[in-house]
Amino acid sequence: MYKVDFNNPKHFHFIGIGGVSMSGLAEILVKRGFTVTGSDNSESQYTSNLMKLGVRIAFSQEASNITDDIDCVVYTAAIKDDNPELSEAKRREIPLLTRAQFLGQVMDNYSESIAVAGTHGKTSTTSMISQVLLELPEDPTISIGGIFSAINSNIHAGTSETFITEACEYTNSYHEFYPKYSIILNIEEDHLDFFKDLNDIRHSFNKFANNTLDDGCIIINNDIPDLSEITEGTKAEIVTFGTTNEADCYAKNISFDDFGNGIFTPVCCGEELEEIHLKVPGNHNISNALAAVLFLKKFGVDNKTIKAGLEKFEGAERRFQFKGKVNGINIIDDYAHHPTEIKVTLESAKNYPHERVVCVFQPHTYTRTKALLKELAEALSIADIVILSKIYAAREKDIYNVSSRDLLKEVEKYGTEAYYFDTFSEIEEFILKKCINNDLLITMGAGDIVKVGNELLEK
């Protein structure tokens, strides 16, 4: 496999350079002195930023974009075999790397590499840790799957030996990573269009854990069932966080403020730290913070800096993000699309000032909706009112004989008031008629449901 060497800058071409992850990785290379070119189907804020840095980008994908001076081509999973640029690169026998392979190669250039994995909480936990690392004199490199307000971006190209990134299990892409520190937040059924079942997912996480460097450390949730199966075979140090004092790091004196934000005292490896008052809501964020605390202690960060960084963290984009207020309705946006995520988000919402919790949910992918239909309905029923939109297909075709109307029927079985609309405009019109002063409206899903809240705020 082609090796990315920061000490020997080359010319890299990115097919699909405008994506949130690809653009960030391209920026790291630019700031390391590499020559970077790329292509995409349309302009975006990410391509504009790269062009300001001197990156030449073509907005059509043609064979002529592949030139003799290119040393390696990086491409996303969305690029098909018949893509003209990919075909031309193969014809010219130019080395190829998938986005995941490339990210793994970049990681290998940092002596202090950190990969944050888990079914839920990757973005929030990576952002929490990054917030603390930014308090240190050393300048970390950060790659996050969403916009992080502290850097106003998804990427920060630092100058130190520290690199932190999310590690997604989908298509086993994180098997390309060999980090010094691996963090595993939780393991549940998801991405069942790729994985066979939960057992298959657990085998995948075991492989990820075993990729941790022998002199490294695995920070893992002690509440994961049969934990030893996940860490079996690794030579790295294993430390745990969790809800009970059987874990190496746990929380005591847990409480919540008037907005549902967690307050707790961490106990880490026998040491009781000073109380931490988070600015993000829910028990799940206390769990994320415990993972962060345990990693940061192993990383050698002092208690004062850990507390200061975690208390400064105000959340990542689309993670219980307050968007604004219209007609007395508070609008929150959240990325939750798995039943567990939906449940913890709606439970957190119950602790937030509100008259009623109104959830506008956009199911994400046909396979997930079909496989987890009853679990999705049970989680959504926590809301006072549920409004459903069409399923967001993402990478899939509508061949699975499932729709949002099926989910509607399941939600109604719980006695929850529920509605379905074909279009966002119908949803917005209904909200303006239905919602009352001090209702808490949550737009929820991993697709483009965020547009509903944005458009309401513009009315």
Has 10 been annotated as catalytic?
Answer: no
Closest C-alpha to 14, from 61, 68, 48, 80: 61
Exposed / middle / buried, residue 173 (Cβ in 10 Å: 0-12, 13-18, 19+):
middle
Q: Rounded distance, CA 263 to CA 256, Å?
A: 6
Residue from 37, 47, 119, 123 carrying the catalytic annotation: 123
Q: Rounded distance, CA 384 to CA 111, Å?
A: 49
Has 52 been annotated as catalytic?
Answer: no
Residue from 27, 47, 122, 370 carrying the catalytic annotation: 122
Has 166 been annotated as catalytic?
Answer: yes
Contact between 446 and 431 under an 8 Å Cβ cutoff? The reply is no
Q: Rounded distance, CA 25 to CA 424, Å?
A: 33
Token pair listed for 302: 């002092």
Q: Rounded distance, CA 249 to CA 239, Å?
A: 8
Residue from 27, 88, 112, 166 carrying the catalytic annotation: 166
Q: Of how many residues is the chain composed? A: 459
Torsion of CA 184, 188, 191, 196, to 10 degrees: 110
Q: Which stretches of 336-456 are assigned E, i.e. beta strand? A: 357-361, 385-388, 417-420, 440-444
Q: Rounded distance, CA 219 to CA 294, Å?
A: 7
Token pair listed for 408: 């509607």
Looking at residue 176, its amino acid is: E
Active site residues: 122-123, 166
